């Protein structure tokens, strides 16, 4: 009994959906009155919910500001997002739905390298250009895809900063480690070549698996190799774990670089005074003198009640670029938009957007080296943007 | 290899084993009495760990203050779960293990979701006793030593409870022979509830110590559950002294393979041991062979 009723309801819903789908095109108003719909999926739940939320707020703030300023091409803008729960397969389904069923006018990238790598194929199949602010790995751009554009600094360029600083100080030997996954691998891939160019030697090079919990053995090995500097391509949990194991093993290299972990404010709360002197790579900073950055920080805080981070800034900047490209093209023609995104040079809150026209790999945005000094993060590299000179050497544990 | 390095790796391994030991003891109490393979065990460990981290961030509460609080809360939660869910499962032994496995599997997903909603997905740890004491050529990590000693104290208290109290005797009786315990007038329902509550509370205590050493988020509970299982498989299911031996073996395996091979090998080492023991000595290292 219950079953047949459910079936009847299901049939009714399906039928209604079918009728709407058939009648849809005839019932809609003329295109000029409709808002321009920008579609994306974002990790609103799952392990990356916190960063995903900030990324989404970056998108939301730009849309709100742009609508207040008259929209795009005389039309209002609507942001249509779904939650992909940090799962690439779900994101692929959602982008297909955004394009096939929701008929969005434009798409922008999701959160994280892995999710973007999968979604890029959908964009390619539908010839929808997609600027992606949350993909530091260059792997998705080296598959001959023509529709994706990188809206953030590339991972391999991360280590240039700390290695330049080390070279200036005359440090020679390097220990390299990091998590054995796509993004950290891309980061450490740059170290070999740079070391040769700079006349430095790699005395230790070993990665650890994702979800590693105990770093004491790998730190003991690094200590035996006795390097001047340690370059770890790590996220937050492993950068905390490594730092703690180094303190416990009483091992302090002259320079300690820990990837993206130290850029998170939580690195400070989790390590207290031990964070002092640790360097990391950040992509953005509230104090940066990039175009519109001060206003962005202020309006973001007013809108959401908390400070933006680099995710929010990168997503905001990507829509700045997309909006500008639409204005220059004067329509939503995807082929023309694609060409525009490939060749455009434009100042944003992240720096100057410029990609390699062939691959879409980011060339304009510069990575920043941050260092924890007196309980706060400071930009110490590149010199043009530095808030203070690097504080080196990293103090031995016994003197702290 | 020189002696100093050998000594250092041994110290690191034993200290890390101490933390695994406590979590595994909680799991083993539950299995011993109830024959329940509790797949939600790691979630209780992680829940307490995250609670300790949040209370430290907000109130600067010491982990040693949070530990008894978490112990009591988890005891209540464990009793509640036993009364509300596990008690309703069929009790004949053959199907109990399978159905309890499914139910605790579901509970584990429920708690991962609950912790994500409550604590967010952020990785957390507590910067307390992050340094090391130097003893000759060795450095001894303070937090690890604390966790090791605290694990030892909790293990000793548990042993005394099991050996010298009426409840302990009832728990042992129930775990050794259910029918016999029933025949002697042991209130088996009550013993089961208290055992599950006790196991959960020990899990919470180990979480408060674990957070001093590892960085965790709500999704890392499964690793803890797996490591705890490896420990009790080595030591013998229901064998409390064996749990400590199993934990030491696993800690040493991680420490030495991590140095002489790679971190990837170290991560696999506990499970390789786990499989070998299941194949060669299914009753555990201290168990009677063939049992």
Compute CA distances A173 → A168, A200, A202, A371, whole Å: 13, 6, 6, 20
**CA–CA distance, B252 with B259 (Å, rounded to integer):** 11
B226 has pLDDT over 50: yes
A54 has pLDDT over 50: yes
B:172-211 residues touching chain A, CB 8 A cutoff: none
* Element of type H or E holding A298: helix A293-304
**CA–CA distance, B125 with B56 (Å, rounded to integer):** 9
Nearest CA in chain B to A207: B263
Comparison of pLDDT for B31 and B238, the residue scoring more:
B31
* CA dihedral over B249, B250, B255, B257, signed as positive or negative: positive
* Element of type H or E holding A256: strand A255-257
Three-state DSSP class for A264? coil
Tokens of B176: 């050794």
pLDDT tens-digit readout, A181-203:
878 888 888 898 899 999 999 99
Angle at A202 between CA A201 and CA A205, to 5 degrees: 175
Q: With an 8 Å Cβ cutoff, is A210 touching chain B? A: no
Instruction: Name, in order, each residue with C-beta under 8 angstroms of A110's C-beta and a sequence gap of 6 or more.
Output: A40, A41, A42, A43, A84, A91, A95, A116, A119, A132, A134
From the candidate CATH numbers 3.30.70, 1.10.3470, 1.10.390, 1.20.58, the one assigned to the domain spanning B9-280: 1.10.3470
* DSSP H helical ranges for chain B: 3-34, 41-59, 63-84, 93-119, 142-164, 166-176, 178-183, 188-210, 221-235, 240-260, 263-280
B289 has pLDDT over 50: no
**CA–CA distance, B238 with A394 (Å, rounded to integer):** 49
pLDDT tens-digit readout, B131-161:
888 888 888 989 889 888 988 888 889 889 9
Beta bridge partners of A132: A150
Q: Which residue has the tokens 């330049």?
A: A164
Query: Distance between the two ends of chain B, CA-based, in angstroms?
Result: 39
Backbone phi, psi, residue B273, to 5° = -60, -45
pLDDT band at A13 (very low <50, low <70, confident <90, very high): low
**In Å, how far is B112's CA from the nearest CA of chain A?**
10
Q: Render B273-285 in DSSP notation, one character per residue.
A: HHHHHHHH-TT-S
- Segment B41-70 mean pLDDT: 94
Instruction: Name, in order, each residue with C-beta under 8 angstroms of B129's C-beta and a sequence gap of 6 or more.
Output: B142, B143, B146, B212
- Segment B185-189 mean pLDDT: 87
pLDDT band at A23 (very low <50, low <70, confident <90, very high): very low
Are the beta carbons of B215 and A221 separated by less than 8 Å?
no
A284 has pLDDT over 60: yes
Nearest to A41 by CA among A103, A100, A87: A87
**CA–CA distance, A43 with A30 (Å, rounded to integer):** 33
Compute CA distances A277 → A69, A177, A262, B48, whole Å: 44, 18, 10, 31
Q: Among B120, B141, B263, select the one facing A208 at the smallest CB separation.
A: B263
**CA–CA distance, A265 with A293 (Å, rounded to integer):** 19
Tokens of B78: 């464990």
Beta bridge partners of B141: B132
Angle at A87 between CA A83 and CA A92, to 5 degrees: 80
Tokens of A222: 């690094």
Q: With an 8 Å Cβ cutoff, is B89 touching chain A? A: no
Residues of chain B contacting A266 with CB distance shorter than 8 Å? 122-124
pLDDT number for residue A391: 95
pLDDT number for residue B29: 87
Are the beta carbons of A206 and B262 separated by less than 8 Å?
yes
The packing angle between helices A310-329 and A293-304, to 10°, is: 110
pLDDT tens-digit readout, A72-84:
999 999 999 999 9
Tokens of A80: 């249509």
Residue B221 · residue B112 · CB < 8 Å: yes
Of all residues in chain B, what percent carry a pLDDT higher than 70?
96
pLDDT band at B128 (very low <50, low <70, confident <90, very high): confident
pLDDT number for residue A213: 79
Nearest CA in chain A to B256: A217
pLDDT tens-digit readout, A310-353:
999 999 999 999 999 999 999 999 999 999 999 999 999 999 99
* Element of type H or E holding A71: none
Residues of chain A contacting B55 with CB distance shorter than 8 Å? none
Mutation site, A207, A244, A278, A306, interface B, largest B CB count within 10 A:
A244
Tokens of B236: 């013998």
Three-state DSSP class for A120? helix
pTM above 0.90, yes or no: no
**CA–CA distance, A384 with B282 (Å, rounded to integer):** 65
pLDDT number for residue A356: 95
Beta bridge partners of A204: A175
């Amino acid at each position: 009994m219950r079953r047949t009723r459910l079936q009847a309801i299901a049939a009714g819903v399906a039928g209604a959906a079918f009728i709407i789908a058939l009648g849809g095109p005839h019932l809609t108003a003329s295109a000029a009155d409709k808002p321009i719909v920008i579609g994306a999926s974002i990790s609103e739940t799952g392990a990356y919910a916190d960063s995903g939320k900030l990324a989404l707020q970056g998108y939301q703030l730009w849309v709100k500001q742009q609508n207040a300023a008259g929209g795009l091409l005389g039309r209002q803008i609507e942001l249509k997002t779904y939650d992909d729960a940090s799962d690439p397969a779900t994101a692929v389904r959602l982008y297909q739905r955004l394009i096939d069923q929701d008929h969005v006018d434009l798409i922008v990238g999701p959160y994280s390298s892995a999710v973007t790598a999968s979604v890029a194929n959908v964009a390619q199949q539908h010839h929808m250009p997609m600027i992606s602010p949350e993909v530091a790995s260059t792997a998705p751009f080296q598959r001959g895809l023509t529709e994706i554009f990188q809206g953030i600094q590339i991972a391999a360029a991360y280590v240039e900063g700390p290695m330049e600083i080390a070279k200036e100080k005359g440090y020679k030997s390097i220990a390299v480690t990091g998590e054995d996954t796509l993004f950290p691998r891309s980061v450490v891939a740059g170290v070999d070549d740079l070391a040769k160019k700079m006349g430095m030697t790699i005395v230790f090079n070993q990665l650890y698996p994702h979800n590693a919990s105990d770093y004491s053995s790998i730190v003991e090995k690094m200590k035996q190799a006795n390097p001047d500097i340690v370059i770890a391509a790590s996220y937050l949990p492993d950068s905390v774990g490594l730092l703690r194991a180094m303190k416990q093993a009483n091992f302090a290299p002259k320079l300690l670089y820990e990837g993206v972990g130290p850029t998170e404010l939580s690195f400070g709360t989790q390590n207290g005074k031990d964070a002092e002197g640790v360097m990391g790579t950040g992509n953005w900073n509230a104090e940066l003198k990039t175009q519109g950055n001060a206003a962005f920080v202020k309006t973001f805080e007013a809108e959401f009640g908390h400070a933006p981070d680099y995710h929010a800034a990168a997503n905001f900047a990507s829509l700045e670029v997309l909006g500008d490209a639409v204005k220059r093209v004067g329509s939503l023609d995807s082929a023309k938009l694609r060409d525009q995104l490939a060749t455009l040079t434009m100042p944003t809150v992240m720096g100057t957007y410029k990609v390699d026209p062939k691959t879409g790999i980011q060339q304009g945005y510069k990575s920043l080296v941050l260092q924890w000094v007196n309980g706060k993060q400071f930009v110490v590299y590149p010199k043009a943007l530095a808030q203070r000179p690097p504080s080196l050497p990293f103090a031995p544990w016994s003197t702290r | 290899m020189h002696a100093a390095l050998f000594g250092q790796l041994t110290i690191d391994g034993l200290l890390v084993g101490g933390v695994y030991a406590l979590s595994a003891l909680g799991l083993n109490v539950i299995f011993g009495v109830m024959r329940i393979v509790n797949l939600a065990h790691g979630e209780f460990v992680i829940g307490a760990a995250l609670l300790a981290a949040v209370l430290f961030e907000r109130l600067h509460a010491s982990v040693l203050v949070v530990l008894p609080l978490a112990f009591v809360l988890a005891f209540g939660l464990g009793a509640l779960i036993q009364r509300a869910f596990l008690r309703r499962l069929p009790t004949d032994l053959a199907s109990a293990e399978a159905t309890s496995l499914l139910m605790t599997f579901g509970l584990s997903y429920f708690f991962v979701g609950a912790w994500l909603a409550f604590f967010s997905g952020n990785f957390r740890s507590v910067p307390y006793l992050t340094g090391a004491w130097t003893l000759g050529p060795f450095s001894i990590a303070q937090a690890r030593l604390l966790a090791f000693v605290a694990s030892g104290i909790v293990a000793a208290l548990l042993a005394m409870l099991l050996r010298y109290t009426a409840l302990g005797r009832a728990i042992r009786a129930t775990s050794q022979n259910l029918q016999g315990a029933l025949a002697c007038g042991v209130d088996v329902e009550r013993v089961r509830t208290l055992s599950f509550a006790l196991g959960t509370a020990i899990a919470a205590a180990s979480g408060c110590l674990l957070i001093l050493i590892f960085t965790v988020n709500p999704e890392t509970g499964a690793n803890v559950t797996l490591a705890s299982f490896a420990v009790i498989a080595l030591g013998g299911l229901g064998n409390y002294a064996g749990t400590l031996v199993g934990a030491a073996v696993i800690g040493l395996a991680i420490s030495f393979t991590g140095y002489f091979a790679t971190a990837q090998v170290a991560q696999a080492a506990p499970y390789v041991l786990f499989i070998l023991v299941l194949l060669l000595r299914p009753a555990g290292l201290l168990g009677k062979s063939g049992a």
